Amino acid sequence: MALTREQVEQYNRDGYLTPIRVMSAAEARRFRDRMEASEAKVGGPLQGNYRHKTHLLYTWADELVHHPAVIDAVESVLGPDILCWNTNLFAKEASSAGFISWHQDSTYWGLDPSDVITAWVALSPSNPKSGCMRVIPGTHTVDQLPHVDTFHKDNLLSRGQEIAVDVDLAKAVDIVLEPGEMSLHHIKIVHGSEPNRANDRRIGLAIRYIPTYVRQLKVRDSALLVRGVDRYHHFDYEERPKADADTAALAAHKDAMDRQVRALYQGTDKTAFRA
Ligand code: NI
């Protein structure tokens, strides 16, 4: 499932690549069913910290971040030694107001250098009606843009951060995905998304991968080695869940999230992710 040289060149030029089929629609449906079973157990959509580093809590998310077809494509860009640094579950409910302002992921993550890739795996249809991700091609090569924190209640980002300068929306491209397809995007590409106006949920798991040489500049952070070897030891190692949200998984997740909250909310008075 490695990418072709043309695909890698396209990613390096545009800052994204899509669509890439990594599993059948039926397999994606099984992942969705397991995710929704996890929701049923907590009595509703996964909220707050459960939406982040979800792979340390649930076996279905752990299997997704280790999915060979996903990692094969990522390896084509990042090389053979790969850490999973984070996951973010983006479930936009049918006909709901949640949106994502235009932003660069690099703004608060503290990772250096910017060799950071997101594999966005669709578990339901993601298209303009359901509020799919939109990107501005080529913007991964510009410098870090200034952002402002809005903490807007319907913004699904941690700080409601948005780019403080005008974005050329005429250049925006819709990332249309069917269940079982994924896109790849660079940590610096300008992207955002609109609310879900469809009658199904829009569910995707954003998996953040880094090569082992990347550093976290803000805190002593943790990550999970998913392929190759780590000769750098810039991150403490995380524990994979053996059962869904059991005592050990909850403890491992809490430890990792405490570090992440310190990094992402540095300079604000926030001490936990918003629900
Ligand atoms: Ni983002």
pLDDT, tens digit (0-9, with 9 covering 90-100), for 178-199: 999 999 999 999 999 999 999 9
What distance in angstroms lies between residue 244's CA and the mean position of ligand 1's atoms? 26
pTM of the model: 0.95
Residues 6+ apart with CB under 8 A from 207: 55, 64, 65, 70, 84, 86, 87, 118, 119, 120, 121
What distance in angstroms lies between residue 26's CA and the mean position of ligand 1's atoms? 27
What distance in angstroms lies between residue 88's CA and the mean position of ligand 1's atoms? 9
pLDDT of residue 108: 86
| Residues across the chain | 275
pLDDT band for position 264 (cuts 50, 70, 90): confident
CA distance linking residue 15 with residue 184, whole number of Å: 8
Least confident of 82-91, 107-116, 159-168: 159-168
The residue among 118 and 151 whose pLDDT is bigger is: 118
Buried b (16+ CB within 10 A) or exposed e, 46-85: beebbbbbbbbbbbbbbebbbbebbbebbbbbbeebbbbb
What distance in angstroms lies between residue 255's CA and the mean position of ligand 1's atoms? 23
The residue among 222 and 143 whose pLDDT is bigger is: 222
* Mean pLDDT in residue range 172-177: 98
What distance in angstroms lies between residue 202's CA and the mean position of ligand 1's atoms? 16
Longest Cα–Cα distance in the chain: 49
Domain boundaries of the chain, sorted by first residue = 5-264
pLDDT of residue 169: 87
Tokens representing 84 are: 């999973």
**Cβ neighbour number for residue 203 with a 10 Å cutoff:** 25
Identify the three-state secondary structure at position 45.
Answer: coil
* In the predicted structure, residue 271 carries a pLDDT above the cut 90: no
Indicate the CATH number of 5-264 among 3.90.1150.50, 2.30.300.10, 2.60.120.620, 3.40.50.150.
Answer: 2.60.120.620
What distance in angstroms lies between residue 70's CA and the mean position of ligand 1's atoms? 18
What distance in angstroms lies between residue 191's CA and the mean position of ligand 1's atoms? 6
